[in-house]
Structure 1
Amino acid sequence: MKAAVMRAPKAPLSIEDVTISKPGPREVLVRLKAIGVCHSDVHFWDGAFPAELPVILGHESAGVVEQVGSMVSAVKPGDHVISILSPFCGTCEYCLTGHMSVCHTVNRELFQRDLTEAPRLSIGKEKVGQFLNLSSFAEQILVHENALCVVDKDMPMDRACLIGCGVITGVGSVFHSAQVEPGSTVAVLGCGGVGLAAINGAAIAGASRVIAVDLSDEKLQLAKRFGATDLVNPGKVNAIEAVKELTKGGVHYSFECVGLKQTAEQAYHMLRPRGVATIIGMIPPGVNIEIPGIELLVTEKRLQGAVMGSNRFRVDFPRLVELYKQGRLHLDDLISDRIGLDGITAAMQNLKDNKGTVARQVVVLD
């Protein structure tokens, strides 16, 4: 198969012929049709996070099942599926208490091949790293069955793939992690793909005021289409003061979708008493967030994280597909460009440069 291979940080990805193995007992081979280019891929491409090299990046994908292993029961050949980077085992404490999104962080070895087995991906005798157990910048993926969800075949693949990361991360954080209440106020810091999804989710949840915060006026205007009621550009005003003035004291919920110390702390300071700040962005390792300890006691404000929108993806994905069909989840507006595999390097550079017109760039395959 053809795949975009990363051999060094910040270097252009090379389109190479990669050998993909046959499915093991609980593995599924998927022919990909669409792949979203996510800012999380950029963090590994530019060296901010470590990656096993050579590696195939990519993790936001949708396609058609081609082959299944002997013990697979969740999918069958011909099914249309969306992948996710947070598979679940179904038997651990986290799965059994309804927190499936955390399972992969403590049981990650369950979803990989043993070191004594042949690798899933290789070029000649060289093993190729499988990024987040997916490696979606390729024509095919070979994954554990619990990393896939079957969806309706009439769902367009270029929209379906977005659900697998950016959309479930943003919308799921609103629905599950923070549990936004109807009539409440919300601030979303960062209007990239995840932030726009969080804004959309807050609107669907019935928030009375959804404040979009971003340095790009272009992205702020785009946020209106997803349900933002107010726009704040921190480059022109003090964002914390502006949000507090708009809400007469602060928001009930804030969502940090950038991945910076500064914006994480701003998200906390935008809260009213008993407000909840949810950190969604990938803050680099070694970076600490500082907040006044006494406020936690006196105001009962809360600061929390959310991984992949605290999802239950086999329940959530079909529901999100239905919301899209109803015209309430604005996936069409998320797509800023459609490209081929050879356009991925430029797409990641666009995200790194923070181009205001870029929400989600999607690789479309035949």
Structure 2
Amino acid sequence: MQIKAAVTRDKGGPFSVETLTLTEPGASELRLRIVATGVCHTDAVARDLELTPFPVVLGHEGAGVVEAVGSEVTAFAPGDHVVLSFAHCGACEHCLTGHPTVCMRMNELNFGGRAENGTCYLHRGDEAVSTFFGQSSFGSHAVVHERNAVKVDPDLDLGLLAPLGCGVQTGSGTVLNRLKPASGSSLVVYGCGAVGLSAVMAARIAGCARIIAVDVHDNRLSLAKELGATHVFNGRQVDVVEEIRAVTGAGAHYAVETTGVPQVVRQGLHALRPLGQLAIVGVTPEVTLDVHNDLMAEGKTMLGVIEGDSVPKVFIPQLIDYYRQGQFPFDKLVTFYEFDALEEAFADSKSGKTIKPVVRMNS
């Protein structure tokens, strides 16, 4: 079928809305009409650092309505509302043991530009256009593997739910699925974007006694306090390590680093107590560490976490339940844009004006 999609043709290039041909769904695939898509920092990184083959249709926080299903699909039917998440093979040792975020084919399936079977979903004439994260949701329609889709209640706004597929589950899952902080413990979040603020809300759900948010924008720190932070610090105005030690005594039990800034990574380690754990979730360049003094001598742990170590079909419904119970008000992060304002949404995300842009497809 013919669809409209925002194509990125060159490294760092603009979005060009073009007419493309979308393949029909295979036996285990769905075709859906995209209703809305979150704008995530990973989209910008993929565009600006050429992490995926060009030309490509980006977008990986899609939500929409199923229009057609493959011959072997039994869990979905036309009319179902779904949230899309990352691609994974479902067959490797990590997928089979509940860790699809570290699927052995993760990079290939999400950044390689092709479907699991090596074919291409999108074309413009004879030209193949790469798929991103197994969905390419910056378009009017998408074909996805049924593993990528999570069925949700039709009474909920798909536009609001779209960010659950990546950014929101990354922050909240890092806390609830990987760190699993003990009730009464202390946790620091570095960076109060959508990922960091999702971690703040998750820390409150987990029962952390001290939830400390660090950022350089006072408006974001104010929102962090509204969402559950007990203490907030502006990193440009105070010695963050000193302040955290004053609040926690010996340092924090846990920390989540979302900024990808090497200096902040080191701060995160220095502000931990012995045996503390620092989870790295941001795209981070080379960091210089004194391994003995920064890490080993006090038994600290620094670990990488992808997509919140989540099983989306399990975790996304849990987050929706928390939202309905009033414990996870992630709607306070979202600002809506029309699809033809996609460039504006990216610019506002980069400047910090908007925490989580969500693009609604033009009707």
1:221 aligned partner: 222
| Counterparts of 2:310 and 2:108, CA distance in 1 | 17
After superposition, the C-alpha distances for 1:272-321 in whole angstroms (9 at most, x for unaligned) are: 1111100011124xx24524335544311110010000001111111111
| Counterparts of 1:311 and 1:278, CA distance in 2 | 14
| Counterparts of 2:117 and 2:175, CA distance in 1 | 36
1:362 corresponds to 2:358: yes
Kindly report which structure 2 residues correspond to 1:1-366, keeping only aligned pairs within 5 A, or say none: 1-45=3-47, 47-89=48-90, 91-103=91-103, 105=105, 108=108, 112-115=115-118, 117=119, 119-284=120-285, 287-294=286-293, 296-335=295-334, 337-353=335-351, 355=352, 357-365=353-361, 366=363
* The 10-residue stretch of structure 1 (263-272 or 100-109) with the greater mean CA deviation from structure 2: 100-109
The amino acid that maps onto 2:92 is C
After superposition, the C-alpha distances for 1:96-127 in whole angstroms (9 at most, x for unaligned) are: 32222211645845982544x4x201111111
CA deviation after TM superposition for structure 1 residue 25, in Å: 1.3
| Counterparts of 2:231 and 2:125, CA distance in 1 | 54
After superposition, the C-alpha distances for 1:185-226 in whole angstroms (9 at most, x for unaligned) are: 010000011011011110111111111100111111111121
**Structure 1 residue matching 2:155: 3-state secondary structure:** coil
Using structure 1 for the length normalisation, give the TM-score: 0.93
Structure 1 contact 101–311 (Cα < 8 Å) conserved? yes
After superposition, the C-alpha distances for 1:323-358 in whole angstroms (9 at most, x for unaligned) are: 1111111122011x21122211121122223x2x31
| Counterparts of 1:9 and 1:40, CA distance in 2 | 14
| Counterparts of 1:82 and 1:142, CA distance in 2 | 13
The amino acid that maps onto 1:220 is L
| Counterparts of 1:270 and 1:252, CA distance in 2 | 9
| Counterparts of 2:233 and 2:30, CA distance in 1 | 45
CA deviation after TM superposition for structure 1 residue 88, in Å: 4.4
**Structure 1 residue matching 2:156: 3-state secondary structure:** coil
CA deviation after TM superposition for structure 1 residue 250, in Å: 0.9
| Counterparts of 1:177 and 1:289, CA distance in 2 | 25
**Structure 1 residue matching 2:76: 3-state secondary structure:** coil
Structure 2 contact 196–258 (Cα < 8 Å) conserved? yes
The amino acid that maps onto 2:8 is M
RMSD: 1.8
Question: Would the alpha carbon gap of residues 333 and 109 (structure 1) be closer, same or farther in structure 2, given more than 3 Å must change?
Answer: closer
Using structure 2 for the length normalisation, give the TM-score: 0.93
CA deviation after TM superposition for structure 1 residue 10, in Å: 2.9
CA deviation after TM superposition for structure 1 residue 48, in Å: 2.8
| Counterparts of 2:50 and 2:204, CA distance in 1 | 33
The amino acid that maps onto 1:112 is A
Structure 2 contact 87–109 (Cα < 8 Å) conserved? no
Higher relative contact order (CA 8 A, sep 6+): 1
| Counterparts of 1:20 and 1:31, CA distance in 2 | 12
| Counterparts of 1:107 and 1:298, CA distance in 2 | 34
CA deviation after TM superposition for structure 1 residue 254, in Å: 0.3
**Structure 2 residue matching 1:199: 3-state secondary structure:** helix
Question: Would the alpha carbon gap of residues 295 and 10 (structure 1) be closer, same or farther in structure 2, given more than 3 Å must change?
Answer: closer
**Structure 2 residue matching 1:128: 3-state secondary structure:** strand
**Structure 2 residue matching 1:133: 3-state secondary structure:** coil
Structure 2 contact 87–134 (Cα < 8 Å) conserved? no
How many residues are aligned here?
357
